[in-house]
Structure 1
């Protein structure tokens, strides 16, 4: 992932402050990219792939696609970045960076239409990619930006032109701009596979897209570890420094968002538990039952059920209809019970005038009943 983005004018100083404040620079591991991309290989054949939040000389997304360019049968690979990576030449150098980047650390794009065996050793490796980038083929060029957005900003006119060329966008966008980034891709009707946070499903924009079947979660969700820049401050949890001095952060709710179909998405859950009112109480402020774990979805219940949003990736569209999310469906408690002020979440009645506020829920219906 590259950096958070800012318009021109206040420029790079404002951008640097934003990056530090929002801590948007999370660098995805190559193994995570490889494990996810193997589910979509056929859909990438003869396609133009765009990595539009990726410094090619630091990004594992660029590394994956450059090394697998021929194996995937790509038509073209484009990568753009806003500015030089804050870890450039430090902890994450994928190539020999000194003297390789165009005009130092200015924003730039790399366009590749083939990756030949430049060194003639019979295999495509990082040496071939490095020699290709150093060649006179003009695969790299700096970006200028426009009156509204800085050079390399995915919303700038230059980068929109790259987006129009692309068939599929694959990247790790800035978390603070995630909803705007997804909306941008939807506006241009692009296929995509991007890293995100499972908790994004609780936002109005992402919840609406998932409910409408416009996007869904990819194959993997759960723990994901990311390299982070040196300026990131230590945390009490999900932070460590490895033996090489590299700082790491992790998310327990990491995931992929996509509108590319894949086989595992159509695998149905094996349900076994029977419905009883005692095991599955109804919400006070919405007509649905509470299911605390997706593994306990009752096999015989035909109506609406609320389950944790972390289960979204487990829901086959062949088995379940997504009705919506608690943030869009929950009725204000004040409309139902005098003196209660809760809103935006489902509540359970514990008796004796006590109510339990639930975490975000996705509401589903079993389509097979």
Structure 2
């Protein structure tokens, strides 16, 4: 499985996944009005292989940008820019076309050394963050929560790539719940192809080498995370099913019904509902309210999704199904068997 490689990357801190230009373009086209007159920072970028700097440099005038900055972590290629850059962390600055050919020529791009290693948490990289208006990049998956926390701390607009499972963490989910972060417009299912370094081990299905000799990996559950608004986000989800208790079981330990698929949300029910995480692909904050998450961790308890049973009743259910714990929800199927659910987001329709 491709996700096996993703987990290995997390363990080894080997997070050099390079996004395809097609995926960048498909997402960025939804936000063009946000970029005029803005300084864009790509602070987890390697312009030798990353397409983020390329996208913004070639679309600089079209988007009406003010400045483009990219920080590069420890350049390994001595021939990348000039002699003596091997193992040198650098930053790039581009302020638009100067010679009228509408192409970001080498002489128009400043390439300057960094004092440190280019880590986004370093003092000098934080100074670039302060200068920027919008951050767009593919941050290290293993540091995703820390990365988002920094963006929120400095009150930055952003459009970044991450795994959708990150939303069930204590750093990320409250941002969704409070309408501070949401999923982007273009990716709602399937896997995505990322280029990886030449020394990356390819030992899982879905990985390979393309016709040019570049290695790639396919990763499931990838999403764009953003706090930039776009039109489709405010469109109502069309509901067509009617509520009946046979199709929507009530949880044994929480006052809500279970909805197994987002498309099955009943149009005539306004109580609490538990829905899959994939609901966030269709979430319209004017149509629904997010109340919490039932994922069995402390986050679920903190968000109010703890059992409404007393201790004796709760322990009795645990004896039936040992997977049940505080912060998870369960219901009885039509055969009376206790079903303990994986992550469920608790929502309610707005009237």
Q: TM tier, shorter chain?
A: 0.7 to 0.9
- Structure 1 stretch displaced more, 331-340 or 247-256: 331-340
CA distance in 1, matches of 2:83, 2:331: 58
What residue number does 1:37 align with? Answer: 28
Checking the alignment, whether the CA contact within 8 Å between 1:66 and 1:115 is kept in structure 2 is no
In structure 1, stretches of 5+ residues that fail to align are 1-16, 90-96, 134-138, 146-150
Q: Secondary structure at the match of 2:253?
A: coil
1:212 alignment partner, one of 178, 200, 218: 178
Cα 1:162–1:41 shift into 2, 3 Å:
same
What residue number does 2:72 align with? Answer: 81
2:113 alignment partner, one of 120, 128, 142: 142
CA distance in 2, matches of 1:102, 1:114: 26
Cα 1:213–1:98 shift into 2, 3 Å:
closer
Cα 1:351–1:299 shift into 2, 3 Å:
closer
The TM-score normalised by the length of structure 1 is 0.82
Cα 1:99–1:197 shift into 2, 3 Å:
closer
The answer as to 2:100 corresponding to 1:132 is no
How many angstroms does 1:352 deviate by? 7.0
Cα 1:66–1:350 shift into 2, 3 Å:
same
- Structure 1 stretch displaced more, 284-293 or 154-163: 284-293
What residue number does 2:201 align with? Answer: 233
What residue number does 2:39 align with? Answer: 48
CA distance in 2, matches of 1:246, 1:178: 25
Q: Deviations over 1:18-45 (max 9, x none)?
A: 8881331110000100110111111000
How many angstroms does 1:293 deviate by? 0.9
How many angstroms does 1:355 deviate by? 2.0
Checking the alignment, whether the CA contact within 8 Å between 1:26 and 1:226 is kept in structure 2 is yes
The answer as to 2:87 corresponding to 1:110 is no
In structure 2, stretches of 5+ residues that fail to align are 1-7
What residue number does 2:333 align with? Answer: 350
CA distance in 2, matches of 1:102, 1:188: 34
How many angstroms does 1:298 deviate by? 0.3
Q: Secondary structure at the match of 1:81?
A: strand
Q: How does 1:312-327 map to 2 (within 5 A)?
A: 312-327=280-295
Q: Deviations over 1:301-325 (max 9, x none)?
A: 0011111102202111111111121
Q: How does 1:50-199 map to 2 (within 5 A)?
A: 50-84=41-75, 97-100=79-82, 103-116=85-98, 118=99, 122=101, 124-125=102-103, 128-133=104-109, 139-145=110-116, 151-199=117-165
Q: How many residues align?
A: 327
